[in-house]
A = this chain, B = another copy of it.
Amino acid sequence: MDNDHGSALRDSSQRKHFGMRKQTHDQRLKQILQAATELIGKYGFYGTSLHQIADAVGMTNAGVLHYVKNKNELMTMVLESTYDADNPVWRFLRGSSTIDGKDAESAPMHIPVLYRRTTEINESRPDMVRLFSVLSAEALQPTHPAHDYFLRREDVLWRQFSRIDWKVPPGTDLENVFATANSAMDGIQLRWLRDDSIPLTKLWSRCEGIIFPSPLWDDYR
């Protein structure tokens, strides 16, 4: 990229300078995305201004726009880089990771484990759960910059989920369990965000008892 300024100028100090610039750039971007995650999670996309985000990272409006083309692109980057990238459950569903030490190809796979793992992970990142909850409602409107993301996400999740050879009680309707458990998860997360006096994992354990009832699911959880 732009190598024609003469090789004589690219001494080691220059290269170091370039290296530091690059690192700083990525760090800054990460800071911005993190601030955006928190603020959009709190106030929604429409309720958050670039100015708020800029303030949170100690910059000005124009400074932030040096890193992202515009507000819509910021939304996209937040969704794609921040949320899914470091979600172990997704990595597991994609087959590139393990769940409870088992990979998707070996050992019995139990659905309740997946949801318990999800709540454990999400309990440690309320900001992202909040972002996700707020956007999945706000982005119902087709004009919302996150609309397509949530449309696709539903399908993608199901395709990955249904690829797995789950061990379940005889007669189980996988698709209905999937839809019901995911729906209940959405709702219980909202309740947890509204009042976190009870941990998400505990709130979910109550749902698990209803959705995967004993004794039917005793050997499959």
Q: A130-B140, A213-B213 are in contact. Are A183 and B191 (CB under 8 A)?
A: yes
Which of these, B177, B190, B216, contacts A186 with CB under 8 Å?
A: B190
Residues from chain B with a CB closer than 8 A to the CB of A194 are 140, 150-151, 154
CB pair B46–A44 under 8 Å, yes or no, is: yes
**Contact residues on A (Cβ < 8 Å of other chain), bracket:** 35 or more
| Cα–Cα distance between A151 and B183 once the two chains are bound (Å) | 21
Contact flags (1/0) for A156-169 with B, using CB distance below 8 Å?
Answer: 00000000000000
Q: Which residues of A contact B (CB under 8 A)?
A: 42-47, 130, 133-134, 136-138, 140-141, 150-151, 154, 173, 175-177, 179-188, 190-191, 193-195, 203, 206-207, 209-211, 213, 216
Q: Which 7 A-B pairs rank lowest in CB-CB distance, beginning with the nearest? A: A183-B187, A46-B47, A186-B187, A137-B137, A180-B210, A184-B184, A176-B206
